[in-house]
């Protein structure tokens, strides 16, 4: 499954630490029918059976759910202690076993790791998402533009900022419009926090092609459940709700 500009889609994160939890969260995803699920593999305990975990995720992918594979390091806000070498091993394993549609890595990752990850994804025909996260604030417009432009080797550009008020939200809204006016690539732009909730339900307001909904637990501030998103869209009379 490809992420693109033609339709806004919704994604539920899977943040399981054990294979048992992974199976339960995958079952919940199947019941809610999102377009994508994000496997935050950094949450999985290192002593868990990777092949068993992969079978669960592969079953989810084979059901028609798109998979975003995200191995965050602890320096990037990840839940585990993955080294760059281990992250590359996981990416190679996931490519070899066709476990994902998109790989999400941080724009600020070490250059050698980022280059090798991009090579692996490019050779597999999958899409590379380059992310940037600011859990503190929404910076000035110029800084946002520089961050988005800094994802030159990405298939999909992703950025998330803490949104503290409606001025922040409108700053991100204008940044999304500027990006789409100069760049044809898909954009995932996220306004985190309570003031950004409207962007969770209507990511089109931010020129974003994807929004993350809350699964069994939240993976970022301000996430709401998929039923809440669909209900909000119905109340606003959006045609695809």
| Helix residue ranges per DSSP H, the chain | 19-32, 50-62, 84-96, 111-124, 141-149, 166-182, 197-201, 226-235
Residue 241 has pLDDT above 60, yes or no: no
pLDDT tens digits, 51-94: 999 999 999 999 999 999 999 888 777 787 889 999 999 999 99
Same fold flag, 10-125 and 130-236: yes
Residue 240 pLDDT grade (very low, low, confident, very high; cuts 50, 70, 90): low
Q: How far is CA 34 from the centre of its chain?
A: 13
Cα gap 27→8, rounded to integer Å: 23
- Tell me the C-alpha to C-alpha distance, in Å, between residue 117 and each of 61, 96, 103, 127, 159: 21, 13, 9, 11, 19
In this predicted structure, what is the pLDDT of residue 77?
75
Q: If you average pLDDT over every residue of the chain, what do you get?
A: 92
- Tell me the C-alpha to C-alpha distance, in Å, between residue 191 and each of 10, 60, 139, 207: 15, 28, 12, 12
Beta-carbon count within 10 A of 35 CB: 17
Beta-carbon count within 10 A of 184 CB: 6
Among residues of the chain, what percentage have pLDDT more than 70?
96
In this predicted structure, what is the pLDDT of residue 218?
64
In this predicted structure, what is the pLDDT of residue 80?
76
Which CATH architecture best describes the domain 10-125? Alpha-Beta Barrel (3.20)
The full set of domain ranges for the chain reads: 10-125, 130-236
* Closest listed residue to residue 129, CA positions, set 62, 86, 187: 187
In this predicted structure, what is the pLDDT of residue 7?
76
Could you tell me which CATH class the domain 130-236 is placed in? alpha beta
Residue 133 has pLDDT above 70, yes or no: yes
Beta-carbon count within 10 A of 47 CB: 6
């Amino acid at each position: 499954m490809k992420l693109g500009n033609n339709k806004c889609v919704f994604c539920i994160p899977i943040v399981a630490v054990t294979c048992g939890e992974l199976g339960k969260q995958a079952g919940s995803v199947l019941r809610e029918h999102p377009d994508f699920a994000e496997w935050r593999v950094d949450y999985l305990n290192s002593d868990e059976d990777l092949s068993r975990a992969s079978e669960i995720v592969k079953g989810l992918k084979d059901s028609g759910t798109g998979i975003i594979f995200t191995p965050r390091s602890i320096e990037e806000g990840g839940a585990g202690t993955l080294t760059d070498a281990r992250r590359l091993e996981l990416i190679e394993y996931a490519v070899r076993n066709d476990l994902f549609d998109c790989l999400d890595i941080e724009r600020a990752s070490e250059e050698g790791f980022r280059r090798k990850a991009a090579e692996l994804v490019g050779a597999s025909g999958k899409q590379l998402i380059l992310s940037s996260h600011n859990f503190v604030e929404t910076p000035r417009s110029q800084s946002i533009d520089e961050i988005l432009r800094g994802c030159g080797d990405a298939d999909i550009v992703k950025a998330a900022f803490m949104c503290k008020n409606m001025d922040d939200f409108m700053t991100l809204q204008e940044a999304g419009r500027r990006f789409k006016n100069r760049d044809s690539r898909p954009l995932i732009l996220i306004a985190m926090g309570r003031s950004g909730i409207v962007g969770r339900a209507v990511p089109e307001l931010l020129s974003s092609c994807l929004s993350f909904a809350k699964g069994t637990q939240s993976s970022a501030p301000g996430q709401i459940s998929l039923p809440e998103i669909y209900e909000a869209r119905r109340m606003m009379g959006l045609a695809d709700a």
